[in-house]
Each structure stands twice: as C-alpha cells, then as structure tokens.
Structure 1
C-alpha cells in the first residue's frame, strides 16, 4: 500500500519535524506542498494532510493543494500541530467534496509565537517532542 503525507510547515517547522519523524519509521513519501504544488497523488492508496493550525484552519496552501490535486474517493488521514487547539473542519470540507474518507486524525502541540504568545516567549515550547513524534508514528502505523 503506497502512502504519502502532503504537508506545509512554516514559522517554527513543527509540522515538518513531526512528518519527518513519521517518515523515518514508516514507509511513507513526504510531499512538501510549497515545493511540489502540482504533485500527482493518483498512485497513492492512503494520503495524509499535515499542517499547523492558523486562525482555526489548516494552512491555506494545504487547502489549495487538496482542492486542486486530490483525486476523488481516497483514504485520508489528518495531522496537525497547534498552539491552541486542533481544528480539522477547513480540510474536511474539501475532503467531503472529493468523497474521500477520513480514517484517522492526529494532533499535537507545536511551539507557537503568534500574536500575543510572542509577548510571553511563545507557548508549547519544545513541541513536538520525542513523545509527540512517537505517538504520531504509532498513529500512522495503526492506520
């Protein structure tokens, strides 16, 4: 079964740290949506979308990538890093249009210095940490 994770990781590299940890342990291709905006996903049996949460949404580039490149009726899993809380609604709306089935979701804290968090030196320092990555690997392994 061919698996891929499409991701966007900006600011502190939280999401990239998470997906690279997964890729080291699992047989999975990583697709950086910033550098590969036209990647072909048709040959993958299972696709993950990974992003930090920005204003309660997945990053706009991931949403645009999914809208443009995701074939219909794929098995999907979702990964996110966040300072506040996980929120999958923005990507799920696109997946519904594509008649794709979400088979799992994983979220963990990520270092966040946006807005007022900058004044206090950020929140969730050191995350994702080794335990977060271990839990993400276990999540993907169980899919």
Structure 2
C-alpha cells in the first residue's frame, strides 16, 4: 500500500481545518497557501470531502469551508479510505480481489493479514484531534505535512 498524493493532501486539508477556529470558514486560497498546494488541486479534493459530508461549505464573501463535525469524530482511516478506496496492503487482501485458491495454506497471506490489521488499527485509532495536538506540540499549528 502506498498512500497517493491525493490521500496525503486530503489529510493535510482536514488537519488544516481541524486547527482552524471551528466557528470560522476557511477559503480554499488560504488553505492552499498554508499547505503549499495548488488551489485547483485543493478544490478537487475539498469537493470530494464536501460530497462525503466531511466538510461544510458556505458561499459568499465570508464563505469557505470548515469541518462538519468535531476533529475527534474523524479518523485518518476514514479520510484515506474516502480518497484512496481500499487500503489493503497487498492485492490478495483487497475487498474486490478474487478468492485465492491458496488462501488456506498460504503462510505469507497470514503475514499480510497481520500487517494489514496493524496498519488499519493505527489509521482507525488516530483522529484529526490527535494529529492537531501533535501539530501544536511540534510548535507549528499551521504546519505543512
């Protein structure tokens, strides 16, 4: 499994919103500037996040984007699955993979399952609130990840 640029940027965008004032809306321009990512790419990603209900949007001069829920309600796994799809570490564990005829006796499959479980456990345990706290502890609340 390799997290794509889109997945990494979606996580950065959501973290940026988690660090912002929850009562304020952030413009794509300001998020893109803080994260050093093109506005056009940010717009594509934020559109997907809005459609999924992760982010709220308001149009107009005072409009922009903010999290739909508190940062502790989002996990890294949710965000990455939205942008990446299946997070299987190897092809044979993907949700849409055909049944492997060797699955029952395959020792390496056991290893891949252990690795897959470990990765997903971490991604499903780490929340945006946790990432925001790490960012604050590192002294850069508007960090570029």
On whether the aligned pair clears a TM of 0.5, the verdict is no
* TM-score, length-scaled by structure 1: 0.26
User: Of the two structures, which has the highest relative contact order with CA contacts closer than 8 Å and spacing of 6 or more?
Assistant: 2
Give TM-score, length-normalised by structure 2.
Answer: 0.26
Structure (1 or 2) with the greater strand fraction: 1
Bigger share in helix? 2
